[in-house]
Amino acid sequence: MARPRKPLLDQDRIATAALELVDEDGEFTMPALARRLGVQTPSIYHHVDGRAGVIELLRAKIDEEIDSALLDLRPWDRALDAYARSYRAAFAAHPHVIPLLATSTVQAPRVVVVYDMIAAVLIEGGFAPEQVMPSYTALENFLLGSALDRAAPEVMWEVPPGVEAPHLSRALAAQTTSPTRSDQAFEFGLAALLDALRAMNASP
């Protein structure tokens, strides 16, 4: 076969296949990815910088689904609220990718643009420049942790037989099934952080 007249692969096809694989299996290997693409493993290396490159493609895929235009909303708290929800929804749709992304960090220009939009809406909203980074970092840490929580199996929240945990058992039994523990926690935490930001914004 050697070189085909029309390329069999491109970054988009690779990214899509990788995302499907991770969604289904919870992980991916280069051979499995190649198999799904109907190609030999080394072929992938002509389009992406190895396995790490594939992970970057996954990150970009998820980023695409976050609606950063929401950061153009005003006032600032409406923008952050909407953006946070979009962020969470994007990750929630692909929970298994999260651990993959958590390990490495990026320097993608796209990310910088988004952070600039966030800094813009906050500064414009009356925050002092030195308040921007810690404020947003706190929010993002919460979002990231919430995303990881969604990737974790709910099974974790069962008291194993034979273990005495009366208070926890009571708390678990009192849970509502809908909205989920995860959803309720998200709503609560997001509101808490936005409230604190509003308070900070009100007083110098």
Which of positions 18-37 make contact with DNA (CB under 7 A)? 28-32
Write out the binding residues for DNA, residues 122-151 only, by CB under 7 A.
Answer: none
For residue 154, give both structure tokens.
Answer: 């709910």
Greatest CA separation for the chain:
69
Q: How far is the CB of 67 from a second copy (least distance, A)?
A: 19
Interaction of residue 188 with DNA, rule CB under 7 A = no
Among 42, 170, 177, 178, interactor with a second copy by CB under 8 A: 170
Nearest to 18 by CA among 45, 49, 46, 56: 56
**What amino acid is encoded at 113 in this protein?**
V
Binding of a second copy at residue 201 (CB under 8 A)? no
Which residues, 6+ apart, have CB-to-CB distance to 50 below 8 Å? none
Q: Do 114 and 68 meet the contact criterion of CB atoms below 8 Å apart?
A: yes
102 binds a second copy (CB under 8 A): yes
* Among 6, 113, 125, 201, contact with a second copy (rule: CB under 8 A): 113
Q: How far is the CB of 68 from a second copy (least distance, A)?
A: 14
Three-state SS for 26?
A: coil
CB 94 within 8 A of CB 23: yes
Q: What is the binding site for DNA (CB under 7 A)?
A: 1-4, 7-9, 28-32, 39-43, 45-47, 50-52
